[in-house]
A and B are shown apart, each in its own frame.
Chain A
Amino acid sequence: MAVDRSDLLQGTLDMLILKIVALGPVHGYGISQRIQQVSREVLQVQQGSLYPALHRLEKRGWLQATWGESESGRQAKFYRLSAKGRKQLLLEESQWNRLAEAIALILRTAS
């Protein structure tokens, strides 16, 4: 627990979920684990926001869900990216990158 855990920036959770689901079908537990692992424990997702976000994305048609057996042999709900979701992901990624660059630029030049 040496590293500070950061809260997610508002509005970026959707993008992260889409990005992770883009790697292959995955269940909610898997998503929360992966966000944590990939961000080297910096980002932690509250389940209270993860699941509503998953269901919202599913309802918008960006994710598709099927029930299947998990690695541990339990029944789990697997999410995968739809074509619409893929487009949305590209859009959000490019927006994010622009924003990040802009912020980085400001930080660099202002110092």
Chain B
Amino acid sequence: MTWWWKSLFRKRVLDAQLTSEVRFHVDELTDANIAAGMSPEEARRRAVLEFGGGEQIKEELRDVHRVRVIEGAIANLKSAFRFIRKSPSFSAVIIVTLALGIGANSAVFSAIDAILLRPLPFPDGDQLMEISQLHLRQSSPQTRTAPIRLEEWNRMNSAFQMISGYYTEDGSETSGVLPEKVAQAFVAPRFLQVLGVSPALGRDFSADEERFGGPNAVLISDGLWRRRFHGDPSAVGKKLRINGFSFPIIGIMPASFLFPNRDADLWVPVPPDAPYAQSREYTWYSVIGRLKPRMTVEQARANLTTVQAQLGKAFPKPDADLAVAIQPLKEIRVGGVRRSLWILFGSVSLLLLIACTNIVALLLARATQRQHEISVRFSLGASRMALVSQLLTEAFVLAFIGAALGLGVAGGASSVFRSLAGSLPRVEEIRLDGRIVIYSLACSVVATILCGLLPAIRGTRRNISGSLAQANRTQVSGRNPLQWTLVGVQVALAVTLLAGAGLLLRSFQALGRVSPGFEASHVLTFHISGSYGETADWKGLTQRIDRTIDELRNVPGVEATGATATLPGVPSEYQTELRFTEGDQDAEHKIVAESRFITPGYFATMKIPLLSGELCREPKLTSAPADPAGLQHIAISSIHVLVNRSFADAYPGGSTMIGRHVQPVNSSFLQPNDVGEVRGIVGDAREEGMNRPASPTVYWCFGAPGGPDPFYLIRTRTEPMTMAETIRKKIREIEPARSVFDIKPLPEHIDDAFAENRLRTVLLSLFAATAVSLACIGLYGTLSYSVNVRQREVGLRLALGALRGQIVKQFLLQGLRVTVVGCVAGWALALASSRMLSGMLYGVSPSDLVTLSSVVLVVLLVAAIASLVPAIRAARLDPMQVLREE
């Protein structure tokens, strides 16, 4: 408003001033005429006549003062489109370069936006916390939480609106034609309230359904609903048969609800008052809580610590040893990929910068060609400001079209992203929306300024525009320090990116060359649905799994079979503190080892060699009285264990270890009275991930490793996936009510574990390759331009007897000199930025000389080729023709 007033006011002042300036002139003329002897009337008439149309002059003066923003912008736009039409190929190069640059940038930004920047897709998602219990006296302290403790936390704290929890387990649904594996989430009361989500159809669990002995109820996912009921709303009220029990469907969750993970098929309430949920020792739940409004994480941490201290007093064993950890749920879910994503964003921004630099060089060359046009416009009275804004408008139109096409590129790129990085958290939330469009627009504005400002300012310098009088192009200097600096910058940035990609590639290679101590090829893995209910009869469970493994071993084409709780080579840790029951304990030197739970067939299947001693056998199970919680205790006389070579080397005893007994100290899965007898020593295998050398490991031989749903491993004689159908059929024969799922070769699991690594490497390599080609195009373009400008000189020298080789050498060296300088700068940049990559590298140091020097070599080679073409063209000039043309 005020602006309008001001401008109106200014207009009136201006008008008054114009009027009095004109009147003054006429008055003075009148006076002069009177002095010359005219009558006052005649004097005035002549004065007005001489002055000319006063109103017309005033209008012209107003014109001078009018700021013609809109008219100017439209005229600029028109001339920009004319410019694009006039030089389509030049414009196309710029537009495509920007489309790729902005598109790649927007694609990576869309991933960052969806994964890192946006809150979790729940109302007030930033209030959601993950709470875990820490065991102060264990080496891997963070564990799940007992249901009873969850209820106490929920009741006693004052920082959270509500606390709930969940755990997941695969089950078998048998109401259909074939048993189907379903991913079940077992949830504590208040689960949906904490997340702030309600079913899309039907209702949440009722209080009755959350009580022990109450009616069964299940909520199903949108995915299962569409798969099994074809999206029919009458599915609510129908029944599913899960692990032999009947569950009525009470509601269907919205499609966007993918918690705790995107595979979750159904949610089942666990009554907190069930007798089996009263133990303080058995820990099931991953705990989530919703903070009260305006409550900080620190306040909540302090509050829950007080609550846990109270519990420690009330139940010294085990609560006195427990502490509480709170972290934002979003951090838990996405924290791991943050660095990777920002590195990708950094490199894609470098790429855009290189693209812009390239375009600056192109526009600069163009501006020199347009000198004539610009000086004509100058002499017609255009102000420099107007010319700069016209040139900037041209750049903006190019950048805008580039950004619009870039959005298309980003759309394609983000679907590539999704397929390449399926294991990335929240990857399903990546999409193109208003925010990405705005981001791309912002990119185009930044690109306009980066690309357009320098050429516009240089192109409209007075001394250049003064060239109208001497319109002679041969006087344009062939050396353009600014343009060559830009080429150098591009080379430096490209070297930096390529060095990063090189390091990642080398560590990827190194990872592939590792001999892990086991053989992953020809091993097929799968699951057979099982339920934790079976753990009540551990003996029966063990017998079932044993029978399955034995039957499968007899299938033709199968070499060996086994089962394990965790897959070898896929990162996982389970550190346990142990002590030997025999001999003196050295209190200073704790024995800490990885624990692995396997069946005896594991070693033959994975081809892990037995070095000394003998293979383990499964323990004999004896029935034990049920403990007060209603769970049958796993009473085991003595468990056989095998240790790996690192363990035998690291701890006293060496090969005399065989026959001795180890006992866990504070472990949540193993009980203190589980004693393992060391039966033999096996070779080192990289159990905890291909990127980590084997650490001291103890293999505990169980019939049912890790519970009712271990990984089954089968070593096949042929390509493993060809056996998939045979195995599926065989299991239907043995266990008709159970479903087989997740049939996959072991190497695929291992690859998936490094998917983020692969994504990073693939994308960075792609960016680096693009950067190097852009830099080479820049080099080629600038050198070609320089050759063009110096045609006359070259022709003259050739005519005077210069050798063609000399000409080639001269231009080649001109290109290479810049490249070398760029490489040196790039090397320094790469060294400075390589720290960002540390921790992502394996088997190669961030300042690896071989990688860096081969990167430089590659760039030099490519640059030499890019320079050779214009250099040879210069040498092939026909002197007569060139000189005649001039």
Q: Which of A29, A51, A60 contacts B28 (CB 8 A)?
A: A29
A75-93 residues with Cβ-Cβ distance < 8 A to B are 75-77
Question: Is the Cβ of A47 less than 8 Å from the Cβ of B61?
Answer: no
B509 on interface, CB distance cutoff 8 Å: no
Q: How far is the CA of A60 from the CA of B385 in the complex (A)?
A: 11
A48 touches B64 (CB 8 A): no
Q: Which residues of the other chain, B, contact A27 by a CB distance below 8 angstroms? A: 24
B63: nearest residue on chain A (CB-CB)?
A52
Is A76 a contact partner of B52 (Cβ separation < 8 A)? no
Most buried by A among B17, B21, B60, B383: B21
**Contact-residue size bin, chain A (C-beta under 8 Å from the other chain):** 20 to 34
Count the B residues whose beta carbon is within 8 Å of the partner chain — how many? 23
- Report if B429 contacts A (CB, 8 A): no
Question: How does the 8 Å CB contact mask read for B14-47 relative to A, with 1 for contact and 0 for none?
Answer: 0001001110110111010000000000000000
Cα distance A51–B56 in the bound complex, in angstroms = 11
Which chain A residues lie closer than 8 Å to B63 at the CB level? 52
Determine if B21 and A48 form an interchain contact, defined as CB atoms under 8 angstroms apart: no
A75-B61 in contact (CB<8A):
no
- Assuming the A-B contacts A51-B60, A60-B383, are A29 and B52 also in contact, with contact meaning beta carbons closer than 8 angstroms in the complex? no
Closest to B58 in A: A51
Q: Which residues in A have their C-beta under 8 angstroms from that of B27?
A: 72, 74
Q: Known: A48-B57, A48-B60, A56-B64. Contact between A72 and B31, CB under 8 A?
A: yes
Question: A55 within 8 Å of B by Cβ?
Answer: yes
B56-72 Cβ-contact flags toward A at 8 Å (1 or 0): 11001101110000000
When distances are taken between beta carbons in the complex, the residues of chain A under 8 Å from B50 are 47
Query: Are A59's CB and B24's CB within 8 A?
Result: no
**Are B31 and A46 touching (Cβ within 8 A)?**
no
Q: Which residue of A lies closest to B29 (CB)?
A: A29
Complex: chain A residue closest to B53, CB-CB: A48
Contact flag A76-B57 (CB < 8 Å), given A29-B29, A55-B64: no
Across the interface, which residues of B come within 8 angstroms of A75, CB to CB?
A: 20, 24
Q: In the complex, what residues of B have CB within 8 A of residue A76's CB? A: 21, 24
Q: Are A29 and B24 in contact (CB under 8 A)?
A: yes
Interchain CB contact under 8 A, A47 and B52: yes
A52 touches B64 (CB 8 A): yes
- Report if B51 contacts A (CB, 8 A): yes
Question: Is A28 a contact partner of B64 (Cβ separation < 8 A)?
Answer: no
Query: Which residue in chain B gives the minimum CB-CB distance to A67?
Result: B17
Contact B65 A29 (CB under 8 A): no
Chain A residues with CB below 8 A from B25, complex form: 28-29, 32, 47
- Asked whether A77 lies within 8 Å of B17 as measured between CB atoms, the reply is yes
A27 to B17, CA, bound (A): 13
* A70 CB–B CB distance under 8 Å: yes
Query: Across the interface, which residues of A come within 8 angstroms of B24, CB to CB?
Result: 27-29, 70, 74-77
How far is the CB of A80 from the nearest CB of chain B, in Å?
Answer: 15
Give 1 or 0 for each of A88-110: 1 = CB within 8 Å of chain B CB.
00000000000000000000000
Q: Which residues of A contact B (CB under 8 A)?
A: 11, 27-29, 32, 46-48, 51-52, 55-56, 59-60, 67, 70, 72, 74-77
When A and B form their complex, which 8 residue pairs have the shortest distance between CB atoms, in order from nearest? A55-B64, A29-B28, A29-B25, A76-B24, A52-B60, A77-B21, A48-B52, A47-B51
Binding site for A on B (CB under 8 A): 17, 20-22, 24-25, 27-29, 31, 50-53, 56-57, 60-61, 63-65, 379, 383
What are 12 contact pairs spanning A and B, CB under 8 A?
A28-B24, A47-B57, A48-B52, A52-B57, A52-B64, A55-B65, A74-B24, A75-B24, A76-B21, A77-B17, A77-B20, A77-B24
